[in-house]
Chain A
Amino acid sequence: MSSSSIPALAELRGASKRYGKQLALDGVDLALHGGELLALLGPNGAGKTTAIGLLLGLLQADTGMVHLGGRPPQDLDARRTVGLMLQSAGIPETLKVGELLDLTRSYYPAPRSVADCVALAGLDGLLERRYGKLSGGQQRRVQFALALCGRPRVLFLDEPTTGLDIEARQGLWKAMRELVAEGCAVLLTTHYLEEAESLADRVVVLNNGRVVARGSVQEIRAHVAQRRIRCVSSIDPEHIANWPHVRSARLEAGRIDIVADLAESVVRRLLAEDAGLSDLEVQRAGLAEAFIELTREAA
């Protein structure tokens, strides 16, 4: 695309990483550009964390090339352009939010003001609170503030909205859009299709350490037509699995979980066969899940 002519702010080129016998990443290309949000999707164990680990210099690639702004990611100056939010950061619970910001800001040459961090991440009234006393959602917002406090050019957000309520999630989305508009390159991993749909300029899907799809959100969505139907019913899941349009059906924690190509006809039949059916729920299947299906078919 047009972005390929502009040098990437962070890049993997043909990167492979092996743990013992297991190939975690197999010749992956990934480029982050300013003003663009790239969503990295894939099931657990697909290689997302390994890819981020390489770009952050936490891991060394066995083969291939990795750079951050043209420098190796182990370089301290290169990392001063980076902000990050990891899934588990083990942030000290007895420190106050303002103290955590103070410390993390000191790592960067031109950090954002504390007031800006508070406004962008929605930390009003939290600076004097201890991190361990905050709710899960507030803690995620603090982690987000720590990620953006250094005015990074590249932002790594590893499942930033997991465990957030909708309001908090949308607040974070708004802040991410602002950062991208300022020219920041963002790498986002997420389990939520809506999130990738709403935010991403480009999507890369990993499975078993390989890129199985890449493109714009529209291009990727064209692959995903499946729906997920959940309900409480007395119908035998094995019976449902044989219905037309149904890809799979199984019992999970007392509820039947159905993956179907077409929701309407399946729902109609469910209601017709079981008048006592309850807790009906229809969702678009997760992008990552759909790709597991696709790669399974390919294999």
Chain B
Amino acid sequence: MNSIALQAHNPLRSYLLEAKYEFLRLWRTPSFVLPTLLFPSLFYLLFGVILNRSPGGEISQYLLATYGVFGIMGSALFGFGVTIAIEREQGLQRYKRALPMPPAALLVAKMAMAMIFASLISIMLAVIAATLAGVALAPVQWLLLFLVNVLGVLPFCAIGLWIGSLVAGSAAPAVVNILYLPMAFLSGLWMPLSILPALIAKAAPLWPSYHLAQIALKVVGRDAGGPLWQHLLVLAVVMLACFVLARRRLQAAD
């Protein structure tokens, strides 16, 4: 009897359920869902549509790319940074590690969750862009923009993971905001770098979000002209470094 059950047991199912419930539990947390999903669309509506004198033009395209990056960065930083800090503090991480959960299931589930939120944000922005903002792109551009957003969450998941491994649960939202909002502004996500002071524009490549934004802007032909591999390299290095630092920190915590 036992052996039949053993054969039927499929650890992959744990991965799927873990991702499903990770998504569901955040989906039912309005303080996460509302800002994460609505802020990028509202900002885009405000700056890309209402305050924009030339609908369908350069600004609408630029902001479509950068508010996508802004939005998915939020879902990754908050979805990872804050939840991991709280789970660490409240003992969920310890409990899950003691359970026979497949070791990577929680991390994979959180990544899947961030990618699902990223795709929702990306679709909402695309709908606003194609209708209200009058942005016209080739099908392949829409698709590429979507892919940049969905895959672009990964380096920010790693940054969030590292923050979550460092700070207390109650401090995590503040720490994430202190990083998130200035970084968004300084990388030209809210308004084009060309209209910001020269110093800010010059320092922008210091921020990982700048590099993802440049990739997204390349899709709509509005980037600053840096080579793609450079942006990818920076994001890969940031992702790997944060992941390694977070792992070391999480293991040392016990």
Contact = CB atoms under 8 A, between A and B. Distances in A.
Interface in A8-55: 53
B91 interface: yes
B86 interface: yes
A59 B253 CA distance: 11
B95 A90 contact: yes
Interface in B1-51: 1-2, 5-6, 9, 13-14, 17-18, 21, 24-26, 28-29
Interface of B: 1-2, 5-6, 9, 13-14, 17-18, 21, 24-26, 28-29, 86-87, 89-95, 97-103, 254
A84 B95 contact: yes
B25 to A, nearest CB: 4
A94 B28 contact: yes
Q: Is the interface of A mostly helix, strand, loop or mixed?
A: loop
A155 to B, nearest CB: 12
A256 to B, nearest CB: 36
23 contacts: A58-B98, A76-B100, A76-B102, A79-B100, A82-B98, A84-B98, A87-B91, A89-B90, A89-B95, A90-B87, A90-B90, A90-B92, A91-B95, A94-B25, A94-B26, A95-B21, A106-B13, A106-B14, A107-B14, A107-B101, A107-B102, A109-B6, A110-B1
Contacts of B26: 94
A144 to B, nearest CB: 14
Q: Report the interface size class on chain A.
A: 20 to 34
B9 A95 contact: no
A25 to B, nearest CB: 14
A106 B101 CA distance: 9
A90 B17 contact: no
B98 A88 contact: no
Interface string A114-137: 000000000000000010000000
B92 A92 contact: yes
Given A103-B14, A107-B99, A108-B100, 8 more contacts: A86-B91, A86-B98, A89-B90, A90-B95, A94-B24, A106-B14, A107-B14, A110-B5
A106 B6 contact: no
B109 to A, nearest CB: 10
